[in-house]
Structure 1
């Protein structure tokens, strides 16, 4: 029982980290990066771009926290498998949303 609670709390901490990144991105003055180790492209509307990326990170963190619930309620490792598969799918969706919607909308052409 305690292992599940510790695992869930760690999962929530990671979700809160993404929410914090989203809030920081929302109020940033320069373009924030989405991809690691890649400089962000110049954007036409930096404020709008940062807000969109911030919202994406906040939603990602909230959904990630919800996806951690199976860890808390399932006694076997099935809950962890569901949570991990959910995060994988969520990450693919977030990358697609960023590339298709956010980057194409705000990138300088």
Structure 2
């Protein structure tokens, strides 16, 4: 399952790339596709917080994928990896909404 882990790791690297792009952006970055970012009071801190969210997500996503190295193909344990990924995405959305509320103009 090395190939599966390599593909999984490639996706984790994409999360890191999104984080780097967000960190270097001069304008407020968006998070949800097709939704404009809110008006932000401190763009630099907001972008740094969103980038940190992507970096942490990349690390956790990579850790979730580690079982690819040890499990055999079609193992039932992959269900837990998928459930962990769904949980990660939900937590990521909740954290982003709290970041958004913190830096949004009132």
Q: Same fold (TM over 0.5)?
A: yes
Q: TM-score range by the shorter chain?
A: over 0.9
Matched-pair contact (CA < 8 Å) for 1:52–1:102: yes
* Match in the other structure for 1:69: 66
CA drift at 1:96: 0.6
* Match in the other structure for 1:95: 93
CA drift at 1:58: 0.6
In 2, the alpha carbon distance for the partners of 1:15 and 1:58 equals 9
Which secondary structure state, in structure 2, belongs to the residue aligned with residue 78 of structure 1? coil
Equivalent pairs, count: 105
* Match in the other structure for 1:7: 4
Q: Would you identify which runs of 4 or more consecutive aligned residues in structure 1 move more than 2 Å?
A: 76-80
TM-score (norm 2): 0.94
- Cα deviation, 1:13-57, whole Å, max 9, x if unaligned, reads 000000110011011100100101111111000000000000000
In 2, the alpha carbon distance for the partners of 1:45 and 1:37 equals 22
Aligned pair 1:36/2:33, yes or no?
Answer: yes
Structure 1 gap ranges (5+): none
TM-score (norm 1): 0.91
- Cα deviation, 1:77-102, whole Å, max 9, x if unaligned, reads 22422221111001100101111x20
**Does 1 or 2 have the higher relative contact order (CA < 8 Å, sep 6+)?**
2
